[in-house]
Amino acid sequence: MALDISIDEIKEAIKSEAQAWWICADGRMTPFRDGVFDYVITFYGLMFISEKENKKRVLEENLRVLKKNSKMLLVEPIIK
């Protein structure tokens, strides 16, 4: 499953044959229940989010949807 706020970015990913179940949603408020995922990966996402509070909200949302004792992986070249 992959999430992006931009439908245009999702369309481009699909066009490039990126294999995923694509969801168009805001990472600060995802459409998932609490504790449903074994893993959450943020891959080159935080670097495109403005304002520290918005980055924090995405990370809090990642933690909310994780099952207890699960893993979150951040792959980010730069986080400001």
pTM to 2 decimals?
A: 0.87
pLDDT tens per residue, range 52-76:
999 999 999 999 999 999 999 999 9
Non-local CB neighbours of 61 within 8 Å, separated by 6+ positions: 27, 28, 29, 30
Q: Which spans in 5-51 are helix H?
A: 7-15
The pLDDT mean for the chain works out to: 94
Which range (31-35, 46-50, 51-55, 68-72) has the least confidence? 46-50
Would you say residue 79 has pLDDT above 80? no
Would you say residue 80 has pLDDT above 70? no
Domains contained in the chain, CATH given:
2-75 (3.40.50.150)
